[in-house]
Structure 1
């Protein structure tokens, strides 16, 4: 079985691999509407909780990710084989890790993945090789998918034992305190603001966590994701249901719109040509005040988000979004952008108006949890940069405040 050699270690001078956009990080300020006096904290961000007992994201930390597993691909046909299956571009000169997705024939997401490739691995395997990182609950399904498409390709497909190599996340100042000697490979996470969240491959018991660092619970990693609107895994990106643009795989540099044919390409390219993505995953603030349950409650995924009337009750009519996940007051939602935000997506004007409130009804005629979508400035800039050329010329984008 092809597994990482014990001789493959990172030197103390390893340069952190970051996407090109990460070289000049965008500001991570955001807006929900025009700021109100006293609405911002001293660090320029809004508080995510209105209750003392709600879980709070930490400013800095490191956490192992046992819910992520690795599959090793190696052999002389690996590049050609993988190129026809994923949304990002694979070529023999690509020596740094990247984000991508597997799609079905209808262009729906099967798996969101990181493809780990780095010089030491290539030197060890001799041919272009990689580790594919996927949700642990889907590792066997992905392995079977790869086997089914292998046919006569000279590619070895093997699940990497957990005790041989694992995935970690680090955020904030903690990334300055890790033991660089223990890092096998690393990547600045391209799904967020590209300045605060990193991903690391390391061997178990390799001493990655340096002196003075405290290992955090994996829940803290999920909070970091939710703050930045990052969906991950089949619970948040339903297999064979979600579209790649709706879960922001395009904005995370996970789709190469210029590459050749791959499974699911047709719908993806057609959407790019139309220039219209009406729904996207966004971070949301949840308000559990009043009679709306406890702030530690978990809302049911798929619950409709609707506009509230003047009294704070749910209005009848079309849903403006759907709840995806939450931990306390920090959550993810699939939002209709022109209904829940001031963003302009198409020539037709949306229904959004300043001061509109949204909420989720918990149970039939139950209490209402208010939902406030969050627009990070870097998110708007990235969406505008990637999709501006595809939009009609008379399309006017709302500029950030």
Structure 2
């Protein structure tokens, strides 16, 4: 089963997103101009009271950084994604070949782009990908064909992976160099003429994000749309809690449900056998996903501080604001300015209940990450649309626990 995109996702997202942007504008300092910190972050829910339908932050967003950059995120815009690459897959056996390798369902009748992941035999994520397929491409090739979008640093490894599994399959694997990838958000997608895009997709990972394939010679998506730096795209992802690429979804380590690929319509739990299916289906039937990637707010008493190191443990804080010993509540994944991503133990850092025994979270708990400049407080964010998707997909399974 692929998770549907509820129609009220965007409405709920816009309310929460605008609230975060307004708070950040009021309390903004500076945010780094880099595309992202080369670090990882896990979400902190310590200052949020969370139930199944709503999460409320008790503290406003503040930006901090050791480098100069714009003080607030752009509510609307578009950016070219030069860090993403495309691999062309075509041939009479292309659909059947890909069906055995990715988490989403592939058949020759499917002619619209979708999100998916490649897994290893242990069920760990190798690559998060978009599969670009559209009627004109199929007509041009004379059979089902697609472009596989992946992080540029992993394109070579993915091509080797495909060729290793090719065997006698009648497929052709090559670079796709005639088009590029763009992202847009806010009001910008409504300004994009259809003729400017080869194909487009409402990004299923979060409301408000859109993705496009455009000809390489185009310098903008729309004539009246300002072209923004890719750092703005990364900031939008972090505000929404969307991980992407090997820095945030570490290869052969991350689990697909922990990265919310299931909540992003990226896994079809009813499809046939594929590499890594066993653990994925077993997790689905147990009904328990204890850790998930979430957006986080970061707070430090200093005006300028370096970001936490990728993979640093998130710990509960004592009354003096120091990290306690004991089990980590999560891990810091990535961030820019005051926002980021973290992998969180849901029942430890939030009031979400995902198992029969429940967790240790209590109102008033605070969490943080140790850095060379002191403790950075970490606060997780639970968007309404996230809670709705998680409940829709997993509540029925929990009744069997």
Alpha-carbon offset, residue 99 of structure 1: 0.2
Partner of 1:49: 62
Cα root mean square deviation, aligned: 2.2
TM-score, normalised to structure 2's length?
A: 0.85
Deviation at 1:182, TM superposition (A): 1.4
1:236 aligns with 2:220: no
Q: Could you tell me which residue of structure 2 aligns to residue 317 of structure 1? A: 326
* Larger RCO of the pair (alpha carbons < 8 Å, separation 6+): 2
The corresponding residue for 2:389 is 382
- Contact 1:347/1:392 (CA < 8 Å) preserved in 2? no
**Secondary structure class of the residue paired with 1:234:** helix
Q: Distance between the aligned counterparts of 1:23 and 1:353, measured in 2?
A: 33
Separation of aligned partners in 1, 2:237 and 2:58: 16
- With normalisation by structure 1, the TM-score equals 0.85
Distance change in 2, residues 1:45/1:215 (3 Å): farther
> C-alpha offsets along residues 89-128 of structure 1, whole Å, 9 cap, x if unaligned?
0011111100000000000000000000111111111100
Q: In structure 2, which of residues 133, 140, 165 is the aligned counterpart of residue 149 of structure 1?
A: 165
Q: In 2, distance between residues paired with 1:50 and 1:263?
A: 42
Alpha-carbon shift at residue 390 of structure 1 (Å):
1.1
SS in 2 for 1:375: coil
Aligned residue in 1 for 2:21: none
Question: Cα deviation per residue 1:38-84 (whole Å; 9 max; x = unaligned)?
Answer: xx99xx99753255967532100100000000000001000110000
Q: Does residue 197 of structure 1 match 2:209?
A: yes
Structure-1 separation of matches of 2:176 and 2:270: 32
Q: Secondary structure of the residue that 2:48 maps to in structure 1?
A: coil
Q: How many residues align structurally?
A: 361
The residue aligned with 1:87 is 103
Matches within 5 A, 1:23-42: 23-26=7-10, 27-28=12-13, 33-34=48-49
SS in structure 2 of the partner of residue 21 of structure 1: coil
Give me the whole-angstrom Cα distance separating, in 2, the residues matched to 1:133 and 1:46: 38
Matched-pair contact (CA < 8 Å) for 2:316–2:366: yes
CA distance in 2, matches of 1:72, 1:191: 23
For residue 160 of structure 1, the aligned residue among 166, 169, 176 is 176
Which of 210, 221, 229 does residue 217 from structure 1 map onto? 229
2 CA distance for matches of 1:263 and 1:46?
44
Determine the C-alpha separation between the residues in 1 that align with 2:252 and 2:374: 32
Give ranges in structure 2 of 5+ residues lacking alignment: 17-44
Once the two structures are superposed, the pairs formed by residues 246-257 of structure 1 within 5 Å of their partners are: 246-257=258-269
Question: Which structure features the higher share of helix residues?
Answer: 2
Q: In the alignment, what sits opposite 1:14? A: none
Q: Is the 8 A contact 1:182 1:207 kept in 2?
A: no
**Counterpart check, 1:300 vs 2:309:** yes
